[in-house]
Amino acid sequence: MDLKEFFRTILMTFNPGSYEKLVERKLGHTFNYFIDIVFLVLLATLLISIPRLVTMPTTVANEMNAFDTFDIKIEKTMNKPIMIPEGRPMVVIDTTKNYTSLEKGKILFTSNGVFYKLLPLTLERKIVREGTLLDDKAQAGTLFTVILVALLPSLFLLAFVYLLLKYALIAFVSALIAFIAVRVVRFGVTFEEIVKVAFYSSTIMIVLGLMTKPFIPFIYYLEYVAFALFMVMGIMKVGTPEYAVRPKRKKSVFE
Residue by residue, DSSP assigns 39-66 as: HHHHHHHHHHTHHHHHHHHHHHHHHGGG
d(CA 40, CA 48): 12
Long-range Cβ pairs for the range 205-208 (8 Å, 24+): 205/167, 205/170, 206/37, 206/38, 206/41, 206/163, 206/167, 207/41
* Per-residue confidence (pLDDT) for residue 245, from 0 to 100: 43
* Per-residue confidence (pLDDT) for residue 249, from 0 to 100: 46
C-alpha distances in angstroms, 201 versus 13, 38, 97, 120, 164?
6, 13, 57, 40, 15
Q: What angle in degrees, to the nearest 10, is found between the helix axes of 27-48 and 3-13?
A: 90
d(CA 126, CA 110): 10
d(CA 230, CA 226): 6
> Taking the model in full, what pTM does it have?
0.72
- Phi, psi of 186, deg, nearest 5: 55, 60
- Write out residues in the chain with pLDDT < 70, as ranges: 1, 57, 60-61, 63-77, 112, 118-123, 126-140, 213-215, 217-219, 242-255
- The amino acid at residue 86 is E
- Residue 240 pairs with which residues in a beta bridge? 188
Percent of the chain with pLDDT over 90: 36
Q: Are strands 91-93 and 107-110 parallel, antiparallel or unpaired?
A: parallel
Which one, of 200, 163, 211, 223, lies nearest residue 39 by Cα?
163
* Per-residue confidence (pLDDT) for residue 207, from 0 to 100: 92
Question: 43's torsion region: left (phi>0), alpha (psi -120 to 50) or beta?
Answer: alpha
Q: Tens digit of pLDDT for each residue in 20-44? A: 999 999 999 999 999 999 999 999 9
d(CA 66, CA 61): 10
* Per-residue confidence (pLDDT) for residue 109, from 0 to 100: 76
* Per-residue confidence (pLDDT) for residue 181, from 0 to 100: 92
For residues 142 and 133, the answer to whether their CB atoms sit within 8 Å is: no
DSSP 79: S
d(CA 62, CA 141): 9
